[in-house]
Protein backbone atom coordinates (compact mmCIF):
# COMPACT_ATOMS: atom_id res chain seq x y z
CA UNK A 1 0.00 0.00 0.00
CA UNK A 2 0.94 3.64 0.14
CA UNK A 3 2.37 4.66 3.47
CA UNK A 4 5.02 6.67 5.25
CA UNK A 5 6.99 5.28 8.18
CA UNK A 6 9.10 7.50 10.38
CA UNK A 7 11.07 6.77 13.49
CA UNK A 8 9.16 6.94 16.72
CA UNK A 9 10.05 9.55 19.25
CA UNK A 10 10.45 11.29 21.39
CA UNK A 11 13.98 12.20 20.47
CA UNK A 12 15.93 14.18 23.05
CA UNK A 13 19.24 15.79 22.09
CA UNK A 14 21.65 18.26 23.58
CA UNK A 15 22.21 21.53 21.80
CA UNK A 16 24.68 21.27 18.89
CA UNK A 17 24.16 17.51 18.54
CA UNK A 18 23.64 15.86 15.16
CA UNK A 19 20.07 14.98 14.24
CA UNK A 20 18.71 12.21 12.04
CA UNK A 21 15.03 11.37 11.77
CA UNK A 22 14.45 8.38 9.52
CA UNK A 23 11.62 8.26 7.01
CA UNK A 24 10.79 5.56 4.50
CA UNK A 25 7.87 5.34 2.12
CA UNK A 26 6.02 2.90 -0.04
CA UNK A 27 4.35 4.23 -3.14
CA UNK A 28 3.75 3.51 -6.76
CA UNK A 29 5.50 5.66 -9.29
CA UNK A 30 7.54 8.68 -8.29
CA UNK A 31 5.99 10.55 -5.39
CA UNK A 32 6.95 14.00 -4.16
CA UNK A 33 8.36 13.95 -0.62
CA UNK A 34 8.03 16.54 2.12
CA UNK A 35 9.09 17.29 5.66
CA UNK A 36 6.77 19.46 7.74
CA UNK A 37 7.41 20.92 11.19
CA UNK A 38 4.87 21.78 13.87
CA UNK A 39 5.89 24.13 16.66
CA UNK A 40 3.87 24.09 19.90
CA UNK A 41 0.40 25.56 19.48
CA UNK A 42 0.70 26.04 15.73
CA UNK A 43 -0.27 24.36 12.49
CA UNK A 44 2.19 22.52 10.28
CA UNK A 45 4.57 24.40 8.03
CA UNK A 46 6.70 23.13 5.20
CA UNK A 47 10.33 22.60 6.16
CA UNK A 48 11.64 21.21 2.86
CA UNK A 49 10.66 19.08 -0.08
CA UNK A 50 12.07 17.03 -2.98
CA UNK A 51 10.15 16.18 -6.09
CA UNK A 52 12.36 13.66 -7.90
CA UNK A 53 14.99 11.04 -7.20
CA UNK A 54 18.35 12.31 -5.93
CA UNK A 55 16.95 15.77 -5.23
CA UNK A 56 18.10 17.29 -1.95
CA UNK A 57 15.75 19.59 -0.08
CA UNK A 58 17.27 22.00 2.41
CA UNK A 59 16.12 24.78 4.70
CA UNK A 60 17.25 26.32 8.02
CA UNK A 61 20.21 23.92 8.21
CA UNK A 62 18.00 20.85 7.69
CA UNK A 63 18.56 18.55 4.71
CA UNK A 64 16.92 15.46 3.23
CA UNK A 65 17.80 13.55 0.07
CA UNK A 66 15.24 11.66 -2.04
CA UNK A 67 16.67 8.13 -2.26
CA UNK A 68 14.64 6.05 -4.65
CA UNK A 69 16.82 2.94 -4.28
CA UNK A 70 16.14 2.79 -0.54
CA UNK A 71 12.74 4.56 -0.67
CA UNK A 72 13.95 6.91 2.03
CA UNK A 73 13.91 10.63 2.81
CA UNK A 74 15.79 10.94 6.09
CA UNK A 75 15.93 14.37 7.76
CA UNK A 76 19.32 15.57 9.05
CA UNK A 77 20.77 18.60 10.75
CA UNK A 78 24.37 18.98 11.76
CA UNK A 79 23.88 21.07 14.90
CA UNK A 80 20.47 21.38 16.53
CA UNK A 81 19.30 24.34 18.60
CA UNK A 82 16.77 24.61 21.39
CA UNK A 83 14.51 26.43 18.94
CA UNK A 84 14.35 23.28 16.78
CA UNK A 85 12.22 21.57 19.44
CA UNK A 86 9.04 20.63 17.59
CA UNK A 87 7.20 17.74 15.97
CA UNK A 88 8.46 16.69 12.54
CA UNK A 89 6.28 14.97 9.94
CA UNK A 90 7.42 13.16 6.82
CA UNK A 91 4.89 13.06 3.98
CA UNK A 92 4.49 11.95 0.40
CA UNK A 93 2.11 12.70 -2.45
CA UNK A 94 1.77 10.51 -5.53
CA UNK A 95 0.20 13.12 -7.78
CA UNK A 96 -1.74 16.35 -7.75
CA UNK A 97 -4.99 14.45 -7.42
CA UNK A 98 -4.17 12.54 -4.25
CA UNK A 99 -3.95 13.86 -0.70
CA UNK A 100 -0.69 14.02 1.21
CA UNK A 101 0.04 10.91 3.27
CA UNK A 102 1.77 11.71 6.57
CA UNK A 103 3.91 9.69 8.90
CA UNK A 104 2.93 9.62 12.56
CA UNK A 105 5.30 12.42 13.55
CA UNK A 106 8.48 12.52 15.63
CA UNK A 107 8.76 14.81 18.62
CA UNK A 108 12.19 16.40 19.04
CA UNK A 109 13.29 18.04 22.27
CA UNK A 110 16.60 19.90 22.34
CA UNK A 111 18.00 20.77 25.72
CA UNK A 112 20.57 23.45 26.46
CA UNK B 1 3.69 33.00 5.10
CA UNK B 2 0.55 31.04 4.39
CA UNK B 3 -2.70 32.93 3.81
CA UNK B 4 -4.98 30.40 5.43
CA UNK B 5 -7.04 31.20 8.48
CA UNK B 6 -9.04 29.28 11.02
CA UNK B 7 -11.52 30.52 13.58
CA UNK B 8 -11.97 30.15 16.43
CA UNK B 9 -8.52 29.15 17.67
CA UNK B 10 -9.96 27.69 20.85
CA UNK B 11 -13.52 26.57 21.61
CA UNK B 12 -15.01 25.03 24.73
CA UNK B 13 -18.64 23.95 24.44
CA UNK B 14 -21.15 21.65 26.05
CA UNK B 15 -22.39 18.33 24.75
CA UNK B 16 -25.14 18.50 22.16
CA UNK B 17 -24.27 21.90 20.75
CA UNK B 18 -23.98 22.53 17.03
CA UNK B 19 -20.68 24.10 16.02
CA UNK B 20 -19.02 25.27 12.84
CA UNK B 21 -15.27 25.57 12.48
CA UNK B 22 -14.28 28.13 9.88
CA UNK B 23 -11.44 27.87 7.38
CA UNK B 24 -10.58 30.40 4.69
CA UNK B 25 -7.68 30.82 2.29
CA UNK B 26 -6.80 33.66 -0.05
CA UNK B 27 -4.41 31.77 -2.31
CA UNK B 28 -7.04 30.68 -4.84
CA UNK B 29 -6.36 27.01 -4.11
CA UNK B 30 -8.89 24.49 -5.39
CA UNK B 31 -7.84 21.73 -2.99
CA UNK B 32 -8.69 22.01 0.70
CA UNK B 33 -8.47 19.53 3.56
CA UNK B 34 -9.53 18.97 7.16
CA UNK B 35 -7.38 16.92 9.52
CA UNK B 36 -8.04 15.78 13.06
CA UNK B 37 -4.93 15.60 15.19
CA UNK B 38 -5.00 13.42 18.28
CA UNK B 39 -2.91 14.03 21.40
CA UNK B 40 -0.38 11.52 20.13
CA UNK B 41 0.27 13.95 17.25
CA UNK B 42 -0.89 11.68 14.41
CA UNK B 43 -2.85 13.44 11.67
CA UNK B 44 -6.04 11.90 10.33
CA UNK B 45 -7.61 13.16 7.11
CA UNK B 46 -11.35 13.52 7.71
CA UNK B 47 -12.57 15.54 4.70
CA UNK B 48 -11.25 17.06 1.51
CA UNK B 49 -12.45 19.03 -1.46
CA UNK B 50 -11.02 19.49 -4.94
CA UNK B 51 -13.17 22.44 -5.84
CA UNK B 52 -16.51 24.18 -5.45
CA UNK B 53 -19.36 21.74 -4.79
CA UNK B 54 -16.89 18.86 -4.40
CA UNK B 55 -16.43 17.13 -1.03
CA UNK B 56 -15.03 13.73 -0.11
CA UNK B 57 -14.63 11.78 3.09
CA UNK B 58 -11.12 11.07 4.23
CA UNK B 59 -9.45 8.07 5.77
CA UNK B 60 -10.91 8.52 9.25
CA UNK B 61 -14.64 8.26 9.69
CA UNK B 62 -16.02 11.44 11.17
CA UNK B 63 -19.45 12.59 12.28
CA UNK B 64 -18.69 16.04 10.97
CA UNK B 65 -19.81 17.43 7.62
CA UNK B 66 -18.25 19.98 5.27
CA UNK B 67 -19.38 22.25 2.47
CA UNK B 68 -17.60 24.06 -0.34
CA UNK B 69 -19.78 26.77 -1.78
CA UNK B 70 -16.93 29.20 -2.44
CA UNK B 71 -13.35 28.45 -3.43
CA UNK B 72 -11.90 30.28 -0.47
CA UNK B 73 -14.13 28.85 2.24
CA UNK B 74 -14.33 25.29 3.63
CA UNK B 75 -16.27 25.15 6.91
CA UNK B 76 -16.63 22.03 9.05
CA UNK B 77 -19.81 21.43 11.06
CA UNK B 78 -20.65 19.18 13.97
CA UNK B 79 -24.43 18.93 14.39
CA UNK B 80 -24.26 17.62 17.96
CA UNK B 81 -20.89 17.80 19.67
CA UNK B 82 -19.78 15.05 22.03
CA UNK B 83 -16.74 14.66 24.31
CA UNK B 84 -15.26 12.20 21.80
CA UNK B 85 -14.98 15.14 19.35
CA UNK B 86 -12.47 16.86 21.60
CA UNK B 87 -9.38 17.30 19.45
CA UNK B 88 -7.25 19.66 17.40
CA UNK B 89 -8.66 20.36 13.92
CA UNK B 90 -6.31 21.55 11.17
CA UNK B 91 -7.35 22.98 7.82
CA UNK B 92 -5.04 22.98 4.80
CA UNK B 93 -4.99 23.93 1.14
CA UNK B 94 -2.77 23.32 -1.86
CA UNK B 95 -2.44 24.02 -5.56
CA UNK B 96 -3.09 21.58 -8.40
CA UNK B 97 0.35 20.04 -8.88
CA UNK B 98 1.61 17.04 -6.92
CA UNK B 99 4.76 19.01 -6.11
CA UNK B 100 2.89 21.98 -4.65
CA UNK B 101 3.33 22.88 -1.01
CA UNK B 102 0.33 22.22 1.23
CA UNK B 103 -0.32 25.13 3.57
CA UNK B 104 -1.88 24.70 6.99
CA UNK B 105 -3.95 26.98 9.14
CA UNK B 106 -3.08 27.46 12.83
CA UNK B 107 -5.72 24.98 13.98
CA UNK B 108 -8.79 25.01 16.21
CA UNK B 109 -8.54 23.29 19.55
CA UNK B 110 -12.01 22.01 20.42
CA UNK B 111 -13.01 20.84 23.87
CA UNK B 112 -16.46 19.33 24.40
CA UNK B 113 -17.52 19.01 28.01
Q: How far apart are CA B9 and CA A1, in angstroms?
A: 35
Task: Please list the ranges in chain A whose pLDDT falls under 70.
Answer: 1-2, 96
pLDDT reported for residue A99: 87
pLDDT in tens, A40-63: 888 999 999 999 999 999 999 999
Q: How far apart are CA B110 and CA B113, in angstroms?
A: 10
Contact A105 B43 (CB under 8 A): yes
Chain A residues 20-39 with CB within 8 Å of chain B: 31-32, 34, 36, 38
Contact A96 B33 (CB under 8 A): no
Mean pLDDT over the full length of chain A:
93
pLDDT reported for residue B98: 78
pLDDT in tens, B45-94: 999 999 999 999 998 888 999 999 999 999 999 999 999 999 999 999 99
Contact B78, B31 (CB under 8 A): no
> How distant is the Cα of B82 from the closest Cα of chain A, in angstroms?
23
- Please name the member of A32, A43, A104 whose beta carbon is closest to the beta carbon of B105: A43
Among residues B90, B57, B46, B53, which one has the least CA distance to residue B70?
B53
Amino acid sequence: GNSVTQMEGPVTLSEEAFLTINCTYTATGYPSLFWYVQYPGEGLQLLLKATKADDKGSNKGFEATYRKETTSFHLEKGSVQVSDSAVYFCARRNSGNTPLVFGKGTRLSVIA
Amino acid sequence: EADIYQTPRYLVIGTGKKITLECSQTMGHDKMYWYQQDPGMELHLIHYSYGVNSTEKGDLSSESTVSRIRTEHFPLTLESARPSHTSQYLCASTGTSGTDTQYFGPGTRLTVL
